[in-house]
Amino acid sequence: MIAALAALNLLTWFVYRFDKARARIDGQRVPEKRLLALAAYGGWPAAKLAQHHFRHKTRKQPFARRLNLIVLGWLTGLWVLISLGLLGAP
């Protein structure tokens, strides 16, 4: 599970980097739905880091709000699982 999430986050980082590079040259972009899906599937840490690192889609508020809601959903879910003792050290 951890390896899969690590791979997904690595993929997410590179897709955000690719999209930023395409934005700079007015090339064909990665659809926002795909960027948000990568975050929703578990790549949200890399998505937020890439957004900050590449200064990518920081002014596009509908996208930024959706990404922040995905992060909030994940953090809330993790908090609930930890609070119920379903996630944590054995």
DSSP per-residue letters across the chain: -HHHHHHHHHHHHHHHHHHHHHHHTT-PPPPHHHHHHHIIIIIHHHHHHHHHHTT-SSS-HHHHHHHHHHHHHHHHHHHHHHHTTSSS--
* pLDDT over 70 percentage in the chain: 98
pTM: 0.87
Is 70 exceeded by the pLDDT of residue 70? yes
Q: pLDDT digits over 42-62, tens only? A: 999 999 999 999 988 777 789
